[in-house]
Amino acid sequence: MDWQHVKSREMEYFQFNWKQVTCLYSTKHGNAAFVETFRPVMLKQVHSDTIVDTDVPHRGIGDGLITHTPGIHLGIRVADCLPVYLFNKERVCIIHCGWRGIINGIAQRAARFMDTYVYTLGASIGACCYEIQEDVAQVFETAYGSAVVPRGDKYFLDLKKAVQQDLGIKPLVSSLDFCTKCHPEYFYSFRGGDREARNYAVITSSTAGTTKGLPEETACRTPRQLTFR
Ligand SMILES: [Zn+2]
């Protein structure tokens, strides 16, 4: 079971199914139709570790969404950053993982909220293309060792490897392994020159959760200020 390429007249997208859960990732083809069709709940994203419980009132700011309500589509916008879809029988969660979000701890936070889970990874910029500055590389080398790939006098970051260190290898059930910069035929890429346009990552579950409430509060928090670029 892996990600499938879905083509209809209006749009093309990638889809991964796991029991009652559906994970989607848009392409350039029918990008607007994708949003109109699935109508995901989305947030103002700020590279934080804030995960919003959409089942309770919230301010609409953060980089992750979680719900136990069936039929709700949770969405995030990405153009090179990595969308991570986590799910279990009771909840679905989707998080926006760039280097800032990962260092801020969003993946670890999602793991705590979900407790037991499996997850899949969407497309993101790959270690082939994701050059990072030396100061960022140093931070990642300390926290995520092998996620930093040195080549010549440059440093590249493997976002998927870093997230796998936070979430574990065992619960990883699939990965949409395209580099968004290397595949402009499908995806928008910020590093590839797309300044405004975004790809959409969406998760939904068709069945209801059996428990309510989360183990800790998910109110919006001010993202930790980072001093490097
Ligand atoms: Zn690439």
20 Cα: distance to centroid of ligand 1 (angstroms): 32
| Average pLDDT over every residue of 143-168 | 97
CA-to-CA distance for 83 and 77, rounded, in angstroms? 8
pLDDT score at 198: 96
Burial (CB count within 10 angstroms: exposed 0-12, middle 13-18, buried 19+), residue 69 = middle
The pLDDT score that the predictor gives to residue 222 is: 40
Closest CA to 83 of 93, 91, 94, 73: 94
Cα of 127 from ligand 1 centre, angstroms: 7
CA of residue 80 to ligand 1 center, whole Å: 10
Using one digit for the tens of pLDDT, what is the confidence trace for 101-118? 999 999 999 999 999 999
Q: Tell me: the pLDDT tens digits for 62-99?
A: 999 999 999 999 999 999 999 999 999 999 999 999 99
Per DSSP bridges, beta strands 51-53 and 74-78 are unpaired
The alpha carbon of 19 and the centre of ligand 1 are apart by a number of angstroms equal to 31
Burial of 185 (0-12, 13-18, 19+ CB in 10 A): exposed
Contact 82, 49 (CB under 8 A): no
- Predicted confidence at residue 210, as pLDDT, reads 55
DSSP code at position 151 = E
CA 97 to chain centre: 5
Ligand 1: distance of its center to the CA of 141 in Å?
21
The answer to whether the CB of 99 falls within 8 A of the CB of 133 is no
Is the CB of residue 160 less than 8 Å from the CB of residue 175? yes
Give me ligand 1 centre to Cα 192, in Å. 10
Domains (ranges, CATH) in the chain? 4-125+158-205 (3.60.140.10)
CA of 60 relative to ligand 1 center, distance in Å: 32
- Ligand 1 centroid to residue 191 C-alpha, Å: 10
pLDDT of residue 207: 84
Mean pLDDT of all residues in 164-193: 97
pLDDT confidence band for 124 (50 / 70 / 90): very high
Overall pTM surpassing 0.85 (yes/no): yes
Nearest residue to 98 (alpha-carbon basis) of 50, 151, 157, 13: 157
Q: pLDDT tens for residues 188-227?
A: 999 999 999 999 999 999 986 655 555 444 433 444 444 4
pLDDT above 90 coverage of the chain, percent? 89
What's the token pair of residue 76? 């995030």
> Which of 49, 70, 111 is closest to 203 using CA atoms?
70
- What's the 177 CA to ligand 1 centre distance in angstroms? 10
